[in-house]
Chains A and B, each alone.
Chain A
Amino acid sequence: DTAVSQTPKYLVTQMGNDKSIKCEQNLGHDTMYWYKQDSKKFLKIMFSYNNKELIINETVPNRFSPKSPDKAHLNLHINSLELGDSAVYFCASSHRRQLIYEQYFGPGTRLTVT
């Protein structure tokens, strides 16, 4: 049973397009995150939501817009894609009160912008 799932696993698109990546967790966690892993494998937090409320918003272009319809889902929409957006995007989740500092990661979405 998949704990944190992401779709799609691979996404190839052209510059200027708009795309979305979906994330779902079935762990009952109340906090979800988006991370970006660049070509050098460096991982950096982008956003975090707790109970559908945005709590972390790092310096990310406003072309990136997270949306959390409920506690179990956190989607990432990207407008006007650029070459530099090519990366692997990881979704993660945790439970703020119980396993507050233990995050569970999804398998990642490899985005390639041509």
Chain B
Amino acid sequence: AQSVTQLDSQVPVFEEAPVELRCNYSSSVSVYLFWYVQYPNQGLQLLLKYLSGSTLVKGINGFEAEFNKSQTSFHLRKPSVHISDTAEYFCAVSDVGSGYSTLTFGKGTMLLVSP
């Protein structure tokens, strides 16, 4: 079984500042990692994913994340945030080779961008 820990429930930041949203996971097997974004009153949208290969993954809207196997982390970063980035961000993990795509989500981090 896997679990995902998002260390910050809320991250306030000023517009154009850099941001890092932290995610740690635990699993007894190899995993795939994901970040999803949920804008207010909307469904989830995939930001980026790590399946294999380069540990630095680039996603939509200028976000990127780095997979660190030794630290079991997959932190999300953006060098300069916009007001429109205000949303809930979910880190998720899935077993490699589980046959079916079962996602285990963290509890989410609310990114609040202010002018």
- Cβ contact within 8 Å between A41 and B32: no
- Cβ contact within 8 Å between A4 and B51: no
Secondary structure type dominating chain B contacts = strand
Interface size class of B (residues with CB under 8 A): 20 to 34
**In the complex, A4 Cα to B45 Cα: how many Å?**
12
- Cβ contact within 8 Å between A50 and B108: no
- Cβ contact within 8 Å between A43 and B105: yes
Query: Closest A-chain residue to B88, C-beta based?
Result: A41
How many interface contacts (CB-CB < 8 Å) are there between A and B? 55
Q: Which residues of B contact A96 (CB under 8 A)?
A: 100-101
| A41 in complex: contacting residue of B49, B100, B108, CB < 8 Å | B108
- Total interface residues on A, CB under 8 Å, equals 25
**In the complex, A55 Cα to B101 Cα: how many Å?**
10
- Map CB proximity to A onto B94-115 as digits: 1 under 8 Å, 0 otherwise: 1000001111110110000000
Query: Closest A-chain residue to B42, C-beta based?
Result: A107
Knowing A90-B44, A101-B32 are in contact, say whether A56-B105 is a contact too (CB < 8 A): no
Interface residue? A34 (CB, 8 A):
no
The A78-103 residues at the B interface (CB cut-off 8 A) are 90, 92, 94, 96, 100-103
Q: Which residues of A contact B104 (CB under 8 A)?
A: 45
- Cβ contact within 8 Å between A101 and B43: no
**In the complex, A64 Cα to B75 Cα: how many Å?**
35
Determine which residue in B45, B51, B100, B104 has the highest number of CB atoms from chain A within 10 A of its CB, and name it. B100
Shortest B91–chain A CB gap in Å is 11
Q: Which residues of B contact A31 (CB under 8 A)?
A: 100-101
Which chain A residues have a beta carbon within 8 Å of chain B's beta carbons? 4, 31, 40-45, 48, 50, 55-56, 90, 92, 94, 96, 100-108
The 4 A-B residue pairs whose C-beta atoms are closest, nearest first, are A105-B43, A105-B44, A43-B105, A107-B43
| Complex A-B: 28 CB contacts under 8 Å | A4-B43, A31-B101, A40-B107, A41-B88, A41-B107, A42-B105, A42-B108, A45-B102, A45-B103, A48-B102, A55-B100, A56-B100, A90-B43, A92-B44, A94-B101, A96-B101, A101-B32, A101-B34, A101-B94, A101-B101, A102-B46, A102-B101, A103-B101, A103-B103, A105-B36, A105-B43, A105-B44, A106-B43
